[in-house]
Amino acid sequence: MQDTLTLEQQIDLQITSSGPMSVATYMGICLTHPTKGYYKGADPLGARGDFVTAPEISQMFGELIGFWLVNLWQQMSEPKAFTLVELGPGRGTLMADILRVACRAPGFRDALKLRLFETNPALMAEQNARLEAYEPKWLQDFENFDDGPVLIVANEFFDALPIRQFVRKEDGWHERQIGLVDGKRAFGLSPTPIPTSAMPDAVADAPTDSMLEVAFAGAEVMTRLAKIVARQGGSILAIDYGYGSTQTGDTLQGVRRHTFANVLEAPGETDLSAHVDFGALANVARAGGLAVQPLATQGEFLKRLGIAERAAALSGANPGSAEDIRIAHDRLVGQDQMGTLFKVFCAHSPGLMPPGFVS
- Residues contributing to the site for ligand SAM (CB under 6 A): 31-32, 39, 45, 53, 55-56, 88-90, 94, 117-120, 123, 155-157, 160
Between 76 and 252, whose beta carbon lies closer to ligand SAM? 252
* Helix/strand/coil percent split, the chain, to 5: 40, 25, 35
CB of 177 to ligand SAM, least distance (A): 21
CB of 8 to ligand SAM, least distance (A): 20
CB of 299 to ligand SAM, least distance (A): 17
Between 171 and 260, whose beta carbon lies closer to ligand SAM? 260
CB of 104 to ligand SAM, least distance (A): 22
Inter-axis angle of helices 59-75 and 93-102, to 10 degrees? 50
**Residue 116 buriedness (CB in 10 A; 0-12 / 13-18 / 19+):** buried
Between 14 and 32, whose beta carbon lies closer to ligand SAM? 32
What's the rounded Cα separation, in Å, for the pair 295 and 245?
A: 10
Do the Cβ atoms of 24 and 163 come closer than 8 Å? yes
Do the Cβ atoms of 43 and 272 come closer than 8 Å? no
Between 153 and 325, whose beta carbon lies closer to ligand SAM? 153
Between 57 and 189, whose beta carbon lies closer to ligand SAM? 57
What's the rounded Cα separation, in Å, for the pair 164 and 90?
A: 25
CB of 192 to ligand SAM, least distance (A): 28
Length of the chain: 359
- List helix spans (H) across the chain: 7-18, 23-32, 54-57, 59-75, 93-102, 108-111, 121-131, 216-232, 278-287, 298-305, 307-317, 322-333, 338-341
CB of 130 to ligand SAM, least distance (A): 12
Do the Cβ atoms of 14 and 21 come closer than 8 Å? yes
* Closest residue to ligand SAM using C-beta atoms: 88
Inter-axis angle of helices 307-317 and 59-75, to 10 degrees? 130
Between 270 and 349, whose beta carbon lies closer to ligand SAM? 270
CB of 80 to ligand SAM, least distance (A): 28
Between 26 and 157, whose beta carbon lies closer to ligand SAM? 157
